[in-house]
Amino acid sequence: MKADVREAVTSRRPPPMQPLGSGRYVFILVLVVLALGLLMGRIVDLHVIDRSFLQGQGDARTLRVEPISAHRGMITDRHGEPLAISTPVVSLWANPQELPPDNIQRLMLTRALGLDLDDFNARVERFSEREFMYLRRQMTPRAAQQVLDLDLPGVYSQNEYKRYYPAGEVTAQLLGVTNVDDQGQEGLELAYHSYLAGTPGQRRVLKDRKGRLVRDLHLLREAKPGGDLVLAIDQRLQYMAYRELKAAVAEHDADGGTLVMMDARTGEVLAMANQPSYNPNDRTGLDPRGLRNQAIVDVFEPGSVMKPLSMSAALESGEFEPDTVVDTSPGWMRLDNRFTIRDFRNYGDLTLAGILEKSSNIGMTRIALELGATTVVDKYQELGLGQALGTGFPGEASGSLPAPVYWSDSQRATLAYGYGLSVSALQLASAYTTIANGGRRLPPSLLKLSESPEGIPAIAPEVANDLLRMLEQVVQPGTGARRAMVPGYRVAGKTGTVRKTSSEGYQEDAYRSVFAGIAPVSDPRIVTVVMIDHPRGDEYYGGAVAAPVFSRVAGSALRLLDVPPDQHESALTAP
- Nearer to ligand 59J by Cβ, of 256 and 480: the residue is 480
Q: Under the criterion CB under 6 A, does residue 303 sit at the interface with ligand 59J?
A: yes
Q: Under the criterion CB under 6 A, does residue 499 sit at the interface with ligand 59J?
A: yes
User: Looking at 294, 310, 312, 495, which residue binds ligand 59J (CB under 6 A)?
Assistant: 495
CB of 388 to ligand 59J, least distance (A): 26
Q: Under the criterion CB under 6 A, does residue 344 sit at the interface with ligand 59J?
A: yes
The residue count for the chain: 575
Q: Under the criterion CB under 6 A, does residue 242 sit at the interface with ligand 59J?
A: no
DSSP string computed for 35-95 = HHHHHHHHHHIIIIISHHHHHHHHHHSEEEEEEEPPPPPPEE-TTS-EEEEEEEEEEEEE-
- Nearer to ligand 59J by Cβ, of 207 and 500: the residue is 500
CB 455 within 8 A of CB 440: yes
Catalytic residue from among 69, 86, 157, 304: 304
Q: Under the criterion CB under 6 A, does residue 550 sit at the interface with ligand 59J?
A: no
Q: Under the criterion CB under 6 A, does residue 548 sit at the interface with ligand 59J?
A: no
HSE-CB of 258 using CA atoms within 13 angstroms: 25
Q: Under the criterion CB under 6 A, does residue 479 sit at the interface with ligand 59J?
A: no
**How far apart are alpha carbons 150 and 147 in whole angstroms?**
6
Crossing angle of helices 375-382/409-416, nearest 10°?
40
Q: Under the criterion CB under 6 A, does residue 498 sit at the interface with ligand 59J?
A: yes
User: Looking at 165, 192, 300, 541, which residue binds ligand 59J (CB under 6 A)?
Assistant: 541
Q: Under the criterion CB under 6 A, does residue 419 sit at the interface with ligand 59J?
A: yes
Euclidean distance between the first and final Cα of the chain, in Å? 128
User: Looking at 304, 430, 433, 528, which residue binds ligand 59J (CB under 6 A)?
Assistant: 304
* Secondary structure of residue 350 in the 3-state scheme: strand
Q: Under the criterion CB under 6 A, does residue 171 sit at the interface with ligand 59J?
A: no
Which listed range, 321-329, 368-376, 452-460, 494-502, lies at the site for ligand 59J (CB under 6 A)? 494-502
Q: Under the criterion CB under 6 A, does residue 359 sit at the interface with ligand 59J?
A: yes
In the chain, the amino acid numbered 234 is: D
CB of 525 to ligand 59J, least distance (A): 25
Q: What number of other Cβ atoms are within 10 A of residue 141's Cβ?
A: 12
Query: How many residues bind ligand 59J, per CB under 6 A?
Result: 18
* Secondary structure of residue 335 in the 3-state scheme: strand
User: Looking at 76, 171, 361, 528, which residue binds ligand 59J (CB under 6 A)?
Assistant: 361
Which listed range, 56-64, 117-125, 265-273, 498-506, lies at the site for ligand 59J (CB under 6 A)? 498-506
CB of 305 to ligand 59J, least distance (A): 8
Q: Under the criterion CB under 6 A, does residue 207 sit at the interface with ligand 59J?
A: no
Cα of 199 vs its chain's centroid, Å? 21
CB of 506 to ligand 59J, least distance (A): 5
What is the pairing mode between strands 82-94 and 133-139?
antiparallel
**How far apart are alpha carbons 472 and 469 in whole angstroms?**
5
- Nearer to ligand 59J by Cβ, of 93 and 419: the residue is 419
- Nearer to ligand 59J by Cβ, of 12 and 406: the residue is 406
- Nearer to ligand 59J by Cβ, of 154 and 542: the residue is 542
Which listed range, 79-87, 145-153, 383-391, 536-544, lies at the site for ligand 59J (CB under 6 A)? 536-544
**How far apart are alpha carbons 273 and 263 in whole angstroms?**
15
- Nearer to ligand 59J by Cβ, of 111 and 342: the residue is 342
* Secondary structure of residue 261 in the 3-state scheme: strand
CB of 359 to ligand 59J, least distance (A): 3
Q: State the SS3 of 472-527.
A: HHHCCCCCCCHHHCECCECCEEEEEEEEEEECCEEEEEEEEEEEEEEECCCCCCEE
Q: Under the criterion CB under 6 A, does residue 225 sit at the interface with ligand 59J?
A: no
User: Looking at 391, 414, 437, 551, which residue binds ligand 59J (CB under 6 A)?
Assistant: 414
- Nearer to ligand 59J by Cβ, of 365 and 437: the residue is 365
CB 278 within 8 A of CB 286: yes
387: DSSP letter? S
CB 138 within 8 A of CB 181: no
Tell me how many degrees the CA angle 418-374-500 measures, rounded to the nearest 5. Answer: 20
Q: Under the criterion CB under 6 A, does residue 404 sit at the interface with ligand 59J?
A: no
Q: Under the criterion CB under 6 A, does residue 341 sit at the interface with ligand 59J?
A: yes
- Nearer to ligand 59J by Cβ, of 194 and 507: the residue is 507
- Nearer to ligand 59J by Cβ, of 231 and 532: the residue is 532
- DSSP run (H or E) holding 410: helix 409-416
Burial 370-389 (b: 16+ CB within 10 A, else e): ebebbbbbebbebbbbbeeb
Which listed range, 80-88, 246-254, 311-319, 535-543, lies at the site for ligand 59J (CB under 6 A)? 535-543
CB of 88 to ligand 59J, least distance (A): 52
Identify whether 304 is a catalytic site residue.
Answer: yes
CB 226 within 8 A of CB 197: yes
Question: Which of 238, 239, 256, 237 lies closest to 248 in space, CA to CA?
Answer: 256
**How far apart are alpha carbons 150 and 571 in whole angstroms?**
70
Which listed range, 26-34, 103-111, 189-197, 491-499, lies at the site for ligand 59J (CB under 6 A)? 491-499
Which residues are bridge partners to 157 per DSSP? 92
CB 405 within 8 A of CB 451: no
Which listed range, 123-131, 259-267, 490-498, 563-571, lies at the site for ligand 59J (CB under 6 A)? 490-498
Q: Under the criterion CB under 6 A, does residue 543 sit at the interface with ligand 59J?
A: yes
- Nearer to ligand 59J by Cβ, of 90 and 530: the residue is 530
Q: Under the criterion CB under 6 A, does residue 506 sit at the interface with ligand 59J?
A: yes
What are φ and ψ of residue 166, in 5° steps?
Answer: -60, -30
User: Looking at 91, 171, 235, 497, which residue binds ligand 59J (CB under 6 A)?
Assistant: 497
- List residues near ligand 59J by CB under 6 A: 303-304, 341, 344, 359, 361, 414, 419, 480, 495-499, 506, 541-543
Residue numbers annotated as active site: 304
